[in-house]
Amino acid sequence: MMNSTIKITFVALIFCSALLSADTVYAMHISEGILPFSWATLWFVMALPFVAYGLYSLNKRSREDLSFKPLVGLMAAVVFIISCMPIPVPFAGTCSHPCGTGISGILVGPAISVVITAVALLIQAILLAHGGLSTLGADIVSMGVMGSFAGYFTFRILRSVRVNIAVAGFMAGLFADWATYLMTSVELASGIKGEAAFLPLFWKVLIAFIPTQLPLGILEGAITAGMVVLLYKKRPDLLIKMRVIKPGEVTMQKQGMTALIVSFFIIGALLSAAIPAGAAKWTGVDEAVIEKVAKEHGREASEPLINMEQGDLPLFLFLVAGALGGFAAGYYWRVLITEKSPRVNGGKEVITKRK
């Protein structure tokens, strides 16, 4: 039973990948008409507050800077172009395209990025029939809201723990892309399930996306990283103006890999904590086998020299040692990670302001 499910899924995967391999297929947008009226309306209702808030933020910022609206308009044009560029996806033998919303989320913030996405999607629906008017709400929620927020917060969180800007950009692009596809899978499955159950269809859609979107997310991460690094090298003043980095902020120290490893450990710890608490407590082989056999042969186990189960002095000493060690590690964190001083001008960033 399990084998045939895997086989069926595998065949479906291959078939869907084959179908999607025409380079005119851009699987990110939900095409016109896919969603029934009720779902299309729901996604519009969900998207509207985000777009409204984005417009509010846009108007507020453009009162301070007259060039901001034209900049946002041109960013929308850039996102349009990026999300139309076909990229060959390795291992999948097909083409897909980046979302671009991670990039705009980093540069202008998630709220305004939602507006940018809405504009880019509307133009795509009209000019290229990618996506549609009826599915605009759904596409805004997946690309604009999920993509922008995932990209923005990933970038900000990583930058707040002083992760290298390239790594932060990579992770932002990666998560923006994957978040978009996750949401698209939810929207598609809920829209086309009819009377069937939601979850099985959701998994099928998600699995169908994996061959292209898993590697594409990595590619989008690489593209986003390349973009932020280029902007930092050529126009750091632009990044400062757009509040991506602060003046004098160091961006290129080599803490990236360490932060990534720590992140994976944290994620791993969280995942393991999510394992249902009802899992049975299994006795170890010492008790289940060794002690049992020894008891059967008249050699019962004696009390341990340090009885950890009864809270005695050695235990207390272990706790104190752990606390002291943890405190020391935290206090000297930066020394342990070996922070490298920035390469430019003895620690101070020189920002050349263009006329």
Partner 1 sequence: MTRLLLKNISYTYADGTEAISGIDLSVAKGEFAGILGYNGSGKTTLLKIMDGLIKDFQGSVFLDGMDIRNLAPREIYKKMGIVFQNPNDQLFAPTVFEDVAFGPMNMGFTEKEIIERVNNALRAVEMGGFAKKSIHHLSFGERKRICIAGLLSMGHEILLLDEPTAGLDPLGEYQMMNLLTRLNEDKEVTIVMATHSVDLVPVFLDRLYILSKGKIARGGAPESVFTAPEDMTQVKLRMPHIAELIYRLKHEDHLPFDKIPLTIGEARREMVEVFKRSYDE
Partner 2 sequence: MILSDYIHNKEHWLSRLDGRVKLLVTLIMLVMVLSYQGLAFHLLVTFLCLFLCWQMKIPGRVFLLRFSEPVFIVLVILFLKIFFSGGEGIFSTDIMGIRITAYREGLAEGISIAGRIIAAISVMAVMVFSTPFTELLAALSWLRVPKAFIEILMYAYRYIFVLIEDAGVIYDAQKNRLGYAAFNRRFSSFGVLVGSLILKAFEHSQNITVAMVQRGYDGNIPLFDQKPFRSSEVFVSLLFISMMGVVWTI
Binding-site ranges for partner 1 (CB under 8 A): 70, 352-355
Half-sphere exposure of 207 (CA within 13 A, CB side): 15
Q: Smallest distance, Å, CB 4 to partner 2?
A: 6
Q: Both tokens of residue 40?
A: 């299309």
Residues 6+ apart with CB under 8 A from 13: 207, 208, 210, 211
CA dihedral 178, 180, 186, 192 (to 10 degrees): -120
Q: Which is nearer to partner 2, 156 or 193 (CB)?
A: 193
Half-sphere exposure of 59 (CA within 13 A, CB side): 5
Q: Smallest distance, Å, CB 93 to partner 2?
A: 14
Q: Smallest distance, Å, CB 242 to partner 2?
A: 9
Cβ(157)–Cβ(190) under 8 Å? no
Q: Smallest distance, Å, CB 242 to partner 1?
A: 19
Altogether, the residues listed in the chain come to a count of 355
Residues of span 174-193 touching partner 2 by CB under 8 A: 192
Determine the 3-state secondary structure of 100 from DSSP: coil
Residues of span 17-76 touching partner 2 by CB under 8 A: 19-20, 22, 24-26, 31-37, 40, 51, 55, 58-59, 62-63, 66-67, 69-76
* Residue 223 Cα distances to 219, 253, 265, angstroms: 6, 20, 26
Q: Smallest distance, Å, CB 180 to partner 2?
A: 17
268 binds partner 2 (CB under 8 A): no
Among partner 1, partner 2, none, the one that 229 touches (CB under a kind-dependent 5 to 8 A) is partner 2
- How far is Cα 169 from Cα 179, in angstroms, rounded to an integer? 15
Residues of span 322-341 touching partner 2 by CB under 8 A: none
Among partner 2, partner 1, none, the one that 134 touches (CB under a kind-dependent 5 to 8 A) is partner 2
Among partner 1, partner 2, none, the one that 167 touches (CB under a kind-dependent 5 to 8 A) is none
Member of 92, 228, 250, 259 binding partner 2 (CB under 8 A):
228
Q: Smallest distance, Å, CB 139 to partner 2?
A: 14
Q: Smallest distance, Å, CB 49 to partner 2?
A: 13
Using alpha carbons only, what angle is made at residue 240 by residues 236 and 245, rounded to the nearest 5 degrees?
90
351 binds partner 2 (CB under 8 A): no
CA dihedral 139, 145, 151, 157 (to 10 degrees): -160
Member of 13, 42, 46, 122 binding partner 2 (CB under 8 A):
122
Q: Which is nearer to partner 1, 305 or 350 (CB)?
A: 350
Cβ(95)–Cβ(89) under 8 Å? yes
Q: Smallest distance, Å, CB 73 to partner 1?
A: 9
Among partner 1, partner 2, none, the one that 141 touches (CB under a kind-dependent 5 to 8 A) is none
Cβ(88)–Cβ(115) under 8 Å? no
- How far is Cα 215 from Cα 92, in angstroms, rounded to an integer? 8
Q: Which amino acid appears at position 26 of this protein?
A: Y
Number of residues that bind partner 2 (CB under 8 A): 87
Among partner 1, partner 2, none, the one that 174 touches (CB under a kind-dependent 5 to 8 A) is none
Among partner 1, partner 2, none, the one that 352 touches (CB under a kind-dependent 5 to 8 A) is partner 1
* Residue 265 Cα distances to 42, 238, 261, 268, 269, angstroms: 38, 35, 6, 5, 6
